[in-house]
Chains A and B, each alone.
Chain A
């Protein structure tokens, strides 16, 4: 009955046979032995408890337990093995007593194989204490029978060591007498194993806690590095329930920016260390974050101890469990230099704008003056010419009979000269009008324009034999009026410089050059010497004598001006008596 009780109270594996043998032992001897055994085991329990407090590592505790059990419990051999869940090997980690090499030789495993059926393997596998009170007769000890016998071991007990619900290993004790392990011994030793388990669990927890702590420290250290070395000013404000802002942290860059160290301002509100006007600025900024209830981002300037500063600051609110903003994290960027540069740039721009406005006014005045001048020219320069021409004609009409042929010729020359000068004045005015006009860009059909000019030229001198080749559907973007003047000038020139030829050919067309359209007007007339090509587009520059081809030398200057106004380019190619081609882009 007693043995059954043991089994009930502590689920253990106890070999029935061994217990039966136990019953046959003489009672009085047994009592004495029991008392001795138990007092020794109490001592072991007590010493193990002390060791638990002392031990700083499982290994240390295991070694202590084995030593105490041998020294104070009078066990022959004690060892602790840990279970390797992968190989199921039970690896001895501590032992004491004799013979020591037995522990190394036992080669215990904790699975279903024969070497897993011993007390240690079974205890680990089943999670229950296993008692063998006669190793020589037990089938559980069979694989090690010879070693056990050689070592003088007669009884063995193994107790699982667990962390939580997981069996991690076992405490195995050997004695040289049969039937050593009885109810009370088993209970006490079970207590030892439980103490070890408890201690192991605690140490494991401690280890995990320490690892977590280390990880936290590591991460904190990393953040601290960022915090300490950031070029941005970083600060943390505690927000009191009354709505005050107190500095909790400030990184070195922040200290430099603010001109105060965290030691000086920790726990203080801005108004407690800053002049009122600055405290007001900062408090107002921080209030923005509270008001918004979200991240805010702003720029502001402030006159600090450290000097005039411009900051770009981002504030991030942190809420407590109740949702109240209890903290604000701030990141400030010193943008004083940037602002100064911006300011300078702005000033430069303003100055530039002022200068441009001034120049524009001057230019407008100059333009007005030019306009007045042109007006005056058109009026006042022509009036005397009219007198010269008119009175020369009057002379010819009224006194022609009093002049000989030469005298009359002189008067005619006077008239021709005054008329030529009038033409010059008109052409000059046209040239100046080209630049005075505002350009109005739209799609213009140059082909149509050229054909209209051709019709006009033909009707003026129907007797001339000229072939015109006009490329169809040439469209450009430009000012219609100016392009008309341009094309008129070019076609007039071509018409004029082919006038000495019996038969002529004038072409208007377009060619491609490097992806750009190049327009041209070409003729096969008098042409020009390329050596003088540079003079072609200057005002009053003429390459032909007046009696050869009439003209004022302003036509191509006007053409060039119109093309420049359109952002284009103009150039000429030609050879004497081989014709000329004027190319232009728009």
Chain B
């Protein structure tokens, strides 16, 4: 089994948190579907790997879960963001934006700018 690089793992967690932030309470399939929709096929994850990640986030206290009934009347486990998760999302979003901005600046530099 090939381990996913850490960046991707970290990003996936961030995506899960953001998704839950956007749509509120959601079950695993819904989260996977939404991530797929937003990222297109760019992020071709094995959707099953989402579940260990959800468990980890739950252990860390960022999300909470409970059984409920889905839109087509099936028993499903629903995940929602906790207060701690919301805070975490905020900090991580800020960090991510900062990093992205710095990287973007590096990519935008042209040789003549440095002269």
State whether these chains interact: no
